[in-house]
Amino acid sequence: MRHLSFRTQSANETIVKRDWYVVDATNQTMGRMASKIASVLRGKNKPYYTPHFDCGDYVIVVNSAKVVFTGNKLEQKEYQTYSMYPGGQKIETAKEMIARRPNLAIERAVKGMLPKNRLGRAMYKKLFVYEEATHPHQAQSPKAMTF
């Protein structure tokens, strides 16, 4: 007699239920916060996590300018961009990045922790980062994500 209830079931669109979470970045350590967010975007907090399927949740990050770096990273950590032209390399410290575009620092940290393929790009689209404490996603009634 075969027991169908013991079979492993892969996640698909009928099984996956996507939730919305809001994260307040005030006084949160950048790396620790980014790794938790990346884990939720991948769906690793779900019992039916499947590596080859996007079963993650939506994450809203507010107060991105108030994120904290440990040690001397604020002055020593560098973000590099390159335009592919001669002399087109630009280097910016974390302090300058937070002052200019605080959302970009969090987005880059989380994106670096996601898979480097089309599945990772789909997961990254479920991340929303805002500089202020307000966001336009009140209709989804997001839950507060605690660390």
Q: What are 12-26's pLDDT values in tens digits?
A: 899 999 999 999 999
CA distance 21 to 147: 12
Residue 12 within a domain: no
Per residue in 59-96, pLDDT (tens digit) is: 999 999 999 999 999 999 999 999 999 999 999 999 99
Residue 106 within a domain: yes
Residue 57 within a domain: yes
Supply the CATH number for residue 125's domain: 3.90.1180.10
Residue 8 within a domain: no
User: CB atoms < 10 A from the CB of 142, how many?
Assistant: 19
Residue 9 within a domain: no
Residue 4 within a domain: no
Contact 82, 89 (CB under 8 A): yes
Residue 11 within a domain: no
Alpha carbon 51 to chain centroid, angstroms:
17
Per-residue pLDDT for 134 more than 70? yes
CA distance 81 to 90: 5
67 in helix, strand or coil?
coil
Res 4: pLDDT: 62
Nearest to 143 by CA among 58, 43, 48, 44: 58
Residue 28 within a domain: yes
Domain region containing 96: 19-144
pLDDT band at 29, cuts 50/70/90? very high
In the chain, the number of structural domains is 1
